[in-house]
Amino acid sequence: ILDLEGLPAGIYQRSPEVDRVPDQVRVQTTLPDTVEVDISVAPTPTPTATVLATQSVTPTP
């Protein structure tokens, strides 16, 4: 688990935490020891027009 709550945009080095393991499992080490996380603000989407093709009927003479 990586707790990233409340962090502003930026690059962070965090150590993952093992939270839940079965009773029969013992955690000795976690690899990788640290994880790089890049938090960025997603750009605001810009609406774009969608062109729809329509059929036109041509009358026969």
What pLDDT, on a 0 to 100 scale, did the predictor assign at position 47? 86
Q: Find out whether 1 and 16 touch, Cβ atoms under 8 Å.
A: yes
Write down the pLDDT at residue 51: 76
pLDDT of residue 60: 72
Q: Could you report the per-residue pLDDT of 3-56, keeping only the tens digit for each? A: 999 999 999 999 998 888 888 988 888 889 999 999 999 889 888 888 777 777
Instruction: Please spell the DSSP secondary structure of 21-46, one letter per residue.
Output: --TT------SSS-EEEEE-PPPPPP
On the CB side of 47, CA atoms within 13 Å amount to 1
pTM of the entire predicted model = 0.57
Which pLDDT score, from 0 to 100, does residue 28 have?
87
d(CA 60, CA 55): 15
Confidence (pLDDT) at 19: 83
Which token pair is 31? 């690899």
Task: Report which secondary-structure segment, H or E, holds 11.
Answer: strand 10-14
Q: Where are the domains of the chain?
A: 1-19+31-40
